[in-house]
A and B are shown apart, each in its own frame.
Chain A
Amino acid sequence: MTTSVVQTATPPSGRTPARSSDRSRAENRLGQKLVAPAIILMLIVTAFPMLRAIWLSVYDYSLTAPDDRSFTGVDNYVTALTDPLFWQTTGVTVLYMVVTVGIELVIGFIFAMVMHRVIFARGVVRTSILIPYGIITVVSGFAWQFAFSAQNGFVNGWLPFIGADFNWFGETPSAVIAICISEIWKTTPFMSLLLLAGLAQVSEDMIEAAKVDGATWWQRLWKVIIPNMRSAIMVAVLFRALDAYRIFDNIFVMTNGAQQTESISFLTYRQTIEQFQLGLGSALSVLLFLSVLLIAYLIIKVFRVDLAAARQEG
C-alpha cells in the first residue's frame, strides 16, 4: 500500500529550478493531500478532545449523576486553584521534573561520552542501553518498587547506612527518591542517545586544536565540547522536561499517589477516570495543558532553544 501511493506521488516531484506555476500548484495540492491524513488523525485525538475539555470544564458534570449537569462558569477553576492539593501536587511534579532531568543530563552526558569513544563492544553497549529505553515503564516501576521493598527487596541490604527494615514508601522524601530512581533509570538512555547525536556534531579537529594549544581535558569539555553541542543539549532537556512533567506510570505503580507523591497528571486522572468528576477533571486537564505550554515557553525562551535544530533531532 505504501509503495503504490508513493509511486503515484513520484512524477510531479522532480526538482527543477524553473517551475511553471501549474506545476507548483499541483505540487502544492499533492503535498497537502499527502499530509492530510496525518493532520486529521493528530487533530481527532488532541484538538477536538481539548476543545471538549474546555467546554466541559465550565459545567458541574459528574458521570455518577449525568442528568444534573449545570453551567457553573469558572467555578471548577476556582475550586482547583484554591485547593492546596492542587498546588502541592504541582510542587511535587516540578520537583520530579527538576530532579530527574538534572540527574539524567549528567548521567546521560557521561554515557554519551563513553558511547562516543567506545570502539570494542559497541554493539553490546548499545544493546544494553536500549533495554531500559524499550522496557515498559510499568515494569520498571514494579522492578524498582520490589527492589526498594523492605520485605522482598535488595536495596536495604546493599546500602550500608540504611536499616534492613526501612520502609521507603512510608514517608514522602524516600518515596519521591524511589520514584525518581525508576524514572531516571528508564529515561536516561533516551537522553544519552540524543546527546550522542549532539556529540557527533562536534568536530574532532576543534578538540584536537584545543589540545595542541594546551587546554586541559576539563577546559576542552567546558569550552569546546559543551558550547558546540548546546542545541542538542537544549533539545534533549526540552523533550525530557515536558515528558517528566507528565509523570504518571511510575507513581501509579509504585505508590498509587500515597505519601503525597501524587503528580498533577495523577490528580487529573483520579478526578476524571476514578471519581467521574468530568467537570472538575476537565478544568484540571486544561490547567495541566496550560502548565505544559508555560514550561515549553519558558524553556524555549530562557535557553533560546533552536526549534529548527529540534526538527532535525527526530
Chain B
Amino acid sequence: MLKKMGVPLGVLVILLWCLLPVAWIISLSFKSEQSITSGNPGFFPSAGTGAGWDNYRAVWENDQFRRAIVNSIGISLIATLLSVIVATLAAYAIARLEFKGKRLVLSLALAIAMFPVVSLVGPLFDMWRAFGIYDTWPGLIIPYMSFTLPLAIWTLSAFFREIPWEMEQAAQVDGATSWQAFRKVIVPLAAPGVFTAAILTFFFAWNDFVFGISLTSTEAARPIPASLAFFVGPDPFNRPASLLAAAAVIATIPIIVIVLIFQRKIVAGLTSGAVKG
C-alpha cells in the first residue's frame, strides 16, 4: 500500500521542490517596481500590483543586460565548441589507445575538477592583464575550456568505450571506403556522447560566476551571472527585485529550452559509464 502511494507522492514532492522557486521568480518578475519598493510580500502579485510585461521591457531596453546576453551566448558557445573538440581528441586516445601517461591525464582531470577556482583568480587576474586579455572574450573562454575539459573528457571516454569499433572494419570489409565507414558507422555512434559533453560544458560556462566577475571589468566581456550581480549597485538588501527577476527569467530560458529538448541525453551523460557496472 505504502509502496503504491510512495512513488506518486515522491513525484509530486520532486516536482514541487524543483519548480516552486522557478514559479516564484516568474511570479516576482510580474510584480510592479513600485509595489516592491513599498513592500509586497506573498507568493503571487496581490491585486493592483501586477506589472504585465513592463519589467521584461525595461530589462530588454537595458544596454548593459543586452550586451551581457550576447557575451554569455558567444563566450559559452565558443568555449563549448573548442572544449568538445579538444576533449574528443583526448577521450578518443584514452578510450582506444595504449600510451604512457594515460593515468596521469585522468588524474589531472580529476584534480582539476576539484580545484578551488577562487584560488586561481588572483594570479589569473594579474597574468591576464600582463597578456592583455583581461576583460576580453578569450580571457574567459580559456578558463572555461580548462575547467570543462575534465567533465567532457570523462563523459566522452565513457561513451567511446561503449562504441563497437569493430563495426568500422566490418564496414570496410563490406566495401566501404574508410571515410564512408567513419562517416556512416562511427559518427552516428559517437554523436550522442559528443552532444552530451557539449550540453554539460555549455551549462558550466553559462553558470560560471567567479571568473565572470574577476576577469572582466566592463560590459566588453561581462557575462550574464556577473551582470546580474552588478545590476544594482552595492546594497544586497535593497535591489530592484522585480527587474532582477525578469532578467533572471530571461537568463534561464536558454537552460530550460535545452533541458526540455535534451533531457534524456543529459541524464545519460551524467550517469554514463556507471550503469554498466
A133 CA to B225 CA in the complex, in Å?
A: 15
Q: Does B194 contact A (CB under 8 A)?
A: yes
Say yes or no: A140-B147 contact (C-beta < 8 A), given A50-B119, A285-B118, A314-B274. no
Chain B proximity of A169: nearest CB distance (Å): 7
Say yes or no: A138-B101 contact (C-beta < 8 A), given A41-B142, A52-B123, A169-B237. no
Q: Point out which of A110, A128, A144, A149 has the most chain B C-beta atoms below 10 A from its C-beta.
A: A128
> Which residues of the other chain, B, contact A303 by a CB distance below 8 angstroms?
none
> Which residues of the other chain, B, contact A114 by a CB distance below 8 angstroms?
6-7, 10-11, 13-14
Whether A311 pairs with B277 at a CB distance below 8 angstroms is no
Say yes or no: A138-B225 contact (C-beta < 8 A), given A35-B105, A42-B109. yes
Say yes or no: A154-B10 contact (C-beta < 8 A), given A14-B169, A27-B98, A138-B229. no
The contact string, 1 if C-beta is below 8 Å from chain B, for chain A 150-181, is: 11111011100000100001000000000000
Identify the stretch in A71-79, A80-88, A95-103, A195-203 within 8 Å (CB) of chain B at 4 or more residues: A195-203
The contact string, 1 if C-beta is below 8 Å from chain B, for chain A 92-114, is: 00000000000000010011011
Say yes or no: A28-B100 contact (C-beta < 8 A), given A118-B11, A139-B248, A289-B116. yes
Of the candidates B93, B207, B272, which one forms a contact with A30 in the assembled complex, judged by CB atoms under 8 Å apart?
B93
Q: Does B115 contact A (CB under 8 A)?
A: yes
The contact string, 1 if C-beta is below 8 Å from chain B, for chain A 127-143, is: 11111111111111011
Whether A53 pairs with B122 at a CB distance below 8 angstroms is yes
Whether A197 pairs with B275 at a CB distance below 8 angstroms is yes
> Which residues of the other chain, A, contact B210 by a CB distance below 8 angstroms?
248-249, 265, 269
Say yes or no: A135-B255 contact (C-beta < 8 A), given A45-B120, A154-B42. yes
Q: Taking CB as reference atom, which chain B residue is nearest A110?
A: B10
> Which residues of the other chain, B, contact A253 by a CB distance below 8 angstroms?
229, 236
Q: Point out which of A38, A143, A268 has the most chain B C-beta atoms below 10 A from its C-beta.
A: A38
Of the candidates A1, A110, A132, A249, which one forms a contact with B225 in the assembled complex, judged by CB atoms under 8 Å apart?
A249
Interface residue ranges of A1-46 to B (CB < 8 Å): 1-3, 5-7, 9-15, 24, 27-32, 34-35, 37-39, 41-46
Q: Does A224 contact B (CB under 8 A)?
A: no
Count B-side interface residues using an 8 Å CB cutoff. 120
Say yes or no: A28-B158 contact (C-beta < 8 A), given A37-B86, A144-B21, A296-B114. no
Whether A135 pairs with B252 at a CB distance below 8 angstroms is yes
Chain A contact residues (Cβ within 8 angstroms of B): what range?
Answer: 35 or more
Q: Taking CB as reference atom, which chain B residue is nearest A54?
A: B123
The contact string, 1 if C-beta is below 8 Å from chain A, for chain B 148-162, is: 011101110010000
> Which residues of the other chain, A, contact B86 by a CB distance below 8 angstroms?
37-38, 41
Chain B proximity of A55: nearest CB distance (Å): 9
Whether B179 pairs with A7 at a CB distance below 8 angstroms is yes
A152 CA to B39 CA in the complex, in Å?
A: 5
Whether A268 pairs with B182 at a CB distance below 8 angstroms is no
8 closest A-B pairs by beta carbon, nearest first, are A31-B99, A114-B10, A272-B122, A285-B119, A197-B271, A197-B274, A45-B146, A49-B123
Which residues from chain A sit less than 8 Å from chain B, CB to CB?
1-3, 5-7, 9-15, 24, 27-32, 34-35, 37-39, 41-46, 48-50, 52-53, 56, 107, 110-111, 113-115, 117-118, 121, 123-140, 142-147, 149-154, 156-158, 164, 169, 185, 188-190, 193-194, 196-198, 200-201, 217, 232, 239, 242, 245-246, 248-249, 252-256, 258, 265-266, 268-269, 271-273, 278, 281-282, 284-286, 288-289, 292, 296, 307, 310-314
12 further contact pairs, Cβ within 8 A, besides A13-B97, A201-B275, A314-B270: A6-B182, A9-B89, A10-B178, A31-B98, A32-B100, A38-B89, A50-B120, A193-B270, A194-B271, A272-B214, A286-B119, A313-B274
